[in-house]
Amino acid sequence: MLSEPRLLLASASPRRRELLEQIGVPTRRVHCEVDEQVMPGELPAAYVERVARDKVMAGVAAAPAGAVVLAADTVVVLDEQILGKPRDREHAKQMLLRLSGREHEVMTAVAVARGEQVELRLVTTQVRFRGLSAAEIDVYWASGEPEDKAGAYGIQGLGAVFVAHISGSYSAVVGLPLQETAAILEGFGISCWQPC
């Protein structure tokens, strides 16, 4: 019996690997570097799609011929502005105060490729925060969680207590829209529910 094709993950994100394992898709990481600078005038949706596409193509270039590679990128968007990872405590505090009591978008683009064949999907989720106090933001920063998170929060961690409402894919906010990802992988011959 032939074994399932192995998926290569062009991402260093432990959360994406965990999400793929959750749906029974074992992965192996392929290392790649891409320019993640926002281009002048680039809209958030165009940016996240470009970065996901660049990552997956860099992964294909680094992978063995014929390998199936997955990459993704996630951004937090408020007032059409991308909120990236915080530079420091003060930057994180500014971002979280802007998100406080408001709805924002989380956009995740997932790309899967084999050679020149590329499938890309963009998923947008609406997230609304309750009001946040400056004091709790300070405590949250001290936890260390916001330091490497887009928008300075992690919905799968301590930051979950800020979320009053979500409309759309929860897993996309974590970093990978699982329903859409499973559908794309099926088209590349990679099924879910494999033993990891």
Tell me the catalytic residues: 73
The answer to whether the CB of 127 falls within 8 A of the CB of 67 is no
- Structure token pair of residue 31: 């290392």
